[in-house]
Chains A and B, each alone.
Chain A
Amino acid sequence: MTDQQTTDVAEPEEETSNLPPKVPRLPPGEWMKKNLFSSVGNSILTVVFVLVILAITRGLLGFAFSPERRWDATATNMRLLFAGAYPQNQFVRMWVSLGIVVALGGLSTGVWRAGGRMYLTSLLLKGYGVGGAVVLVGILAPFSGSARLSYFLVGGLLIAASFAVQSATDEDTTVGTLAVGLVGVSIAVGSFWVIPYGHHAFIDGAQVVSDGTVAATTKGPLTVMVILAVLTYFLGREIADRVDAGWPRKVLSLSWLASPVVIVFFVLRDPDFDYGHIATTEVPIFLAYAVGGGLLLFALASPRIGEVGRIIAAVTLIAAAATFLTPMLQVIRILALMLAVFALAAPTFSGNRAARLRYVTVWAGVVLGLLWLITAINSPATVESNSSFFTGGLALTLIVASFTMILSFPLGVILALARTSNMPLFRVMSTTYIEFVRGVPFITILIFFSVLFPLFLPENMEVTEIAAVTIGFTLFSAAYMAENVRGGLQSIRRGQYEAAEALGMTTAQKTVFIILPQALRVSIPPLVGQTIGTYKETSLLAIIGLFDLLFVARSLIPNQTSFIGSVREQLLFASVIYWMGAYAMSRASQNLERKLGVGER
């Protein structure tokens, strides 16, 4: 798709590379003259700002590299910061989870053929920049003579190496961005095997400090991750070469969607998990609904069924309502309601055999997803641990944030559609919900779901605390998501509705095929903003006594006898971790926007 756009403007010989035409770069002297010293006022501002930045950097470096800093507190508690009090003998599950993400990432990069090429000169420019920064650190930080010298040496080497490469290569040389990234990560991970960072940890409650390289339990798995990333990348490329790219992409997208569920299953379940219950309850329910409901929907999605179909759908709805009159498993009721919704919508998505089969497949997917979700909420986590708060740190933050993201998005879309619909009942309900949630402080909702929500559950149903607060996060976030999506809906021009209506589309068809795809594209920036907000708001979990990353950094570590009062170091470290996550999301959304921008003016 992008090819078509570029061929319109680019010269034919440019077709092989995706790089934009190179803009001639000004010599550094002229660039500075043009941008920094163009007038007297500009020059004064430049000098003042450079001095301010230097002062701030000096202060920050003075703080970070002061001999009083207890960075060994951070190093010793790395496990606590990342995974909370997760039992050490089960820790391999955390690595398996990370492995799933890395493998999916590698496969996706390969299948989508992501990663372009960049000019070597722009990479070398970064080399000069980093080298300069290292030298600057050496100048500004409060080091002893020999340490200062080593910084000068490293920075000088970087600059010299960049210069050497630049003079040895052609101006138009390009390098693969993925290769550059891989080399960077490999150097970082490889340094764990070579450079004596020292080994700090709590092992069975006893503090261990030793010289030498990082512990094998850290550098080993990390090395495996790098290898896994490379292998899966090439596997993904092989797959993309051999088969039509359509279905691997679909499978991968679904795998990404399912990955948090799978990972939580890995992280939270213990080997004694009650699979017998799954086999005797969840599996039969799934089969009954997927097969029975599937057959019903396959029949209802026939274009020729007519009035009879509507009557059957109405009967399904009544039957679903009737399930609430007698005691039975919640799952059965919820799925019955979903089946009724699907039955009512069947005429809208009816069509030939392929269309009907697709509809039934979507139904089976919904049944599977709902069952899994409800099972996960229903069964308390049972990892062996003497503390009930076994998941904590960054893992807890990521679990709550990613589930909130996945669940609140569809809910927000439904709320936004309800709020803009013509049906007064839906509109009033949705508006009331959104305005209520937006008018209540988040902490209230969090405390409600942590303390009171379990009391409202039907008998024999319990939820884990993580599930309860995730529901709270989801319901809160959905209200804001709904308002963002509503903004997108309002940006769709009247003509789009009219064109769809003039073609005889039903409201559902119009919404699914025309309005939502456009509205969601427009809503990406505010939706990502909301997601980043949720990610950071997980730090409020500390209020209800869960040990999230910030709580570990702020309260747990500074209270350990060896590291009393080392709170500022931990806060700085936690900020960096939060920033990296938020920045990654922000970049991902920019990429997504650029990709989806295809075809728009």
Chain B
Amino acid sequence: MSDAASASVRDLSGATNMIECEGVSKWYGDFQALNSVSATIKEQEVVVVLGPSGSGKSTWIRCINKLEHHQEGRIVVDGVELTNDLRNIEKIRSEVGMVFQQFNLFPHLTVLDNITLAPIWVRKKPRGEAESAARALLDRVGIPEQADKYPGQLSGGQQQRVAIARALAMEPRVMLFDEPTSALDPEMIKEVLDVMKGLARSGMTMIVVTHEMGFAREVADRIIFMEDGMIVEVGTPEHFFTNPTEDRTKLFLSQIL
């Protein structure tokens, strides 16, 4: 728990802003999915987004790398504003790694090819360099022996770790996690969370949408609680879990804990 304590008291006041969102709103038809979401994420900060299903958590982080298009407000990633300019989007996407709930590995490619494809073709790395980097990453996520298998031959937890390695291979400055453990069997959740904890300690800027309260309490610098497309409460894990101010946060916590 000493790690958790040190994480919570990490002083990030001097760090630069990595992601700035200002009044981001989004509608699906008549339904408003995001209602003027504003938040700033600093470099090296680990932010966990909590909230009930349908509260707009996933929609928000998917807006950050433009998998969804926001209709109002502005999003600035590492000093570059997200516009509809295609080259702008591709640049930001290669800076922002994303891990999905359903892994979304490419089933027709081996694990190694899954990881090296984007570095070779998007980052224009030589193949040999990309492959040695990929093997190092597989080592880091703890499955170096699986490099030549196909995703379908791996367990869910292994697949998600490959997906993390695939995102890291692009050397992103920010990592987005969209419910990375929700599709996993309970015994596999820990192996993925351990990788994510290691990543957080290494100084990666991370936004994590999850239902893993233990992870939030231990690793997060800040917790953002969302409901009905709005940010309801923001605070440190200590504040959030021991002394929440909003009634809706209290209700959520009472249901989940």
Contact = CB atoms under 8 A, between A and B. Distances in A.
Given A495-B100, A502-B98, A599-B153, A521 B108 contact: yes
Given A495-B102, A517-B108, A502 B65 contact: yes
Nearest to B94: A504
A148 B124 CA distance: 75
Contacts of B122: 503-506, 509
Contacts, number: 94
Interface of B: 65, 67, 90-91, 93-94, 96-98, 100, 102, 104-108, 110, 117-118, 120-122, 124-127, 148-153, 163, 166-167, 170
23 contacts: A1-B150, A5-B153, A348-B121, A351-B120, A351-B121, A351-B126, A352-B124, A352-B127, A355-B120, A496-B106, A498-B67, A498-B104, A499-B106, A503-B118, A503-B122, A503-B167, A503-B170, A504-B90, A504-B118, A513-B106, A598-B150, A599-B150, A600-B108
B67 A504 contact: no
Interface string A580-601: 0000000000000000001111
Nearest to B90: A504
A349 B121 CA distance: 7
Interface string A400-438: 000000000000000000000000000000000000000
A424 to B, nearest CB: 16
Contacts of A518: 106-108
Closest 10 CB pairs of A and B: A599-B150, A504-B94, A499-B104, A503-B118, A495-B104, A502-B98, A504-B93, A303-B124, A601-B152, A352-B126
A505 B166 CA distance: 13
A503 B166 contact: yes
> Which among A5, A351, A499, A518 has the highest number of chain B CB atoms within 10 Å?
A499
Contacts of B163: 499
Contacts of A348: 121
Interface string A1-34: 1001100100000000000000000000000000
Given A354-B126, A502-B97, A518-B107, 6 more contacts: A499-B100, A499-B105, A504-B91, A504-B122, A514-B106, A601-B107
A540 to B, nearest CB: 37
Contacts of A8: 153
Contacts of A506: 90, 122
Contacts of B97: 502
A450 interface: no
A502 B150 contact: no
B153 A4 contact: yes
Nearest to A599: B150
B65 A599 contact: no
Interface in A95-120: none
